[in-house]
Amino acid sequence: MDRLIIEGGMPLCGELRVQGAKNAVLPILAAAAAAGGECVIHNCPRLRDVEKTVMILEQLGCDVKREGGTIVVNSKELTDCRIDEGLMREMRSSIIFLGAILTACSRAEVGMPGGCPIGLRPIDLHIASLKKMGVSICEEHGYIKCSCARLRGCPIHLDFPSVGATENIMLAAVKADGVTTITNAAREPEICDLALFLNAMGARVKGAGSSVITIEGVESLHGAEHTIMPDRIVAQTYLISAMITGGRIRVCGAEAVHMRAGLSALSEMGAVITEDSGGIELKSRGSVKSVHIIRTMPYPGFPTDIQSPFMALAAVADGTSVFVENIFENRYRHVDELVRMGADIKVEGRSAVVRGVKGLLGANVEAYELRGGAALVVAALAAEGRSTVSGTEYIDRGYEDIEGCLARCGASIRRVCG
Ligand code: UD1
């Protein structure tokens, strides 16, 4: 297993270009399976999850070619409507293929994501919505088996604005009979990117980005060309890295409108932020102030995905910061590792109280999940001495060449393979 070796204390200075968004490219690649033609998708990041998604497309019978950041998916002749348990287990988000495969084949069979039983989290909203659209669903031998004569458009109210469920419904509704209206839909920018792509494929999706999305079913879809939006979580991770090291960085291609909650927290913590149409620049004033309270919420609230890198920053702030994680129950696994580096953090249920310390110390730490892993890298960049971050396979799920990006801006970071 790879490790990242980081010598902390180098201010991050320079410019980098943000990668395409992981959370946009996955549903868009799934949508390409339903196009029945050739889709050309630009700005695809090189990530493990994207590779797995390509493997799923190939398993379904799509012809997939990759050239640099462009992935070409031809879904003219799907030969299969089944995704193996193995691939499903590796990537929970592959559940969004359900809607796309149903649109393409009226049948779908996918392995249970992480062995989670139907009716319980995290896919109850997906399942209940598809059932409302006329899909018969049963669970057999670890597979979710779905079939329907015709998908039926209908009103669907989500009890919680789930990103994945909103995407799944959109994918199932594009060729359904009649109109589907999703209320309390997720409003994340990645939903808008998916809607743009679906509309380029000939779908009729309106209202994406608001809490009411209307999808009018169409007779047929076709291939389309699309450029994936910039990754707002990766962009913020690099801005935080510059802030924690007392540096100055420009993240080209980043969209400030997608990051209002995070940018406002960075300003509160003392960053000088300049936005223009080409990107975002962050300049540190040399010290970090605590942030009053960070509560993770569905978009446009503070994103759960950037909570942990912000916690690394708060760990060295002047004062005490409070975090409340409202989206996922188990998203504080990075805390013990930050504490090993000298952070003072107390967790109580969904809340964490972070008392800023003068400095962190390099240590051997382990990433247990993607964003928590990024938080450890951020902390290690500022820590005194050497840190070794293992569990890089999680970080690689969401960050393209993290060591290259940071090293180009002056960080001392290298990967040791094996
Ligand atoms: C997506 C993102 C992920 C991000 C999350 C929240 C992708 C590939 N991943 O994940 O990076 O952290 O949004 O912004 O886009 N839930 C249920 N039942 C369901 C579905 C969800 O209870 O049927 C719960 C989940 O357990 C979780 C919450 O709703 O507590 C949010 O989940 P959701 O918005 O669906 O997140 P994902 O789409 O899985």
Picking from 1, 10, 20, the residue whose alpha carbon sits closest to that of residue 408 is 10
Question: Is 42 a residue whose pLDDT tops 60?
Answer: yes
The token pair that represents 297 in the structure block: 């919420």
Which among 157, 155, 182 has a CA at the least distance from the CA of 167? 182
Which residue's alpha carbon is at the smallest distance from atom 24 of ligand 1?
A: 122
Q: Is 116 a catalytic residue?
A: yes
Tell me the residue type at 22: K
Ligand 1 centroid distance, CA of 359 (Å): 34
Give the position, in ligand 1's atom list, of the atom nearest the Cα of 190: 15
Cα Dmax for the chain: 64
| Look-up of token digits 């495969």 | 101
Instruction: Summarize pLDDT for 56-100 with one digit per residue, the tens.
Output: 999 999 999 999 999 999 999 888 999 988 888 888 788 999 999
Cα 389-398-170 angle, rounded to 5 deg: 155
The whole-model pTM stands at 0.96
> What CA–CA distance (Å, rounded) separates 193 from 210?
13
Facing residues of 280 across strands?
Answer: 251, 275
pLDDT tens digits for range 142-188: 889 999 999 999 999 999 999 999 999 999 999 999 999 999 999 99
CB atoms within 10 A of CB 154: 17
- How much distance in Å is there from the Cα of 1 to the middle of ligand 1? 28
163, 169, 295, 370: residue to mutate for ligand 1 pocket, most atoms within 8 A of CB: 163
Ligand 1 binding residues, C-beta < 6 A: 23, 26, 93, 121-126, 160, 162-165, 186, 190, 304-305, 327-328
Neighbours of 197 (CB within 10 A): 25
Atom of ligand 1 nearest to the CA of 161: 34
Contact 171, 135 (CB under 8 A): no
pLDDT of residue 89: 81
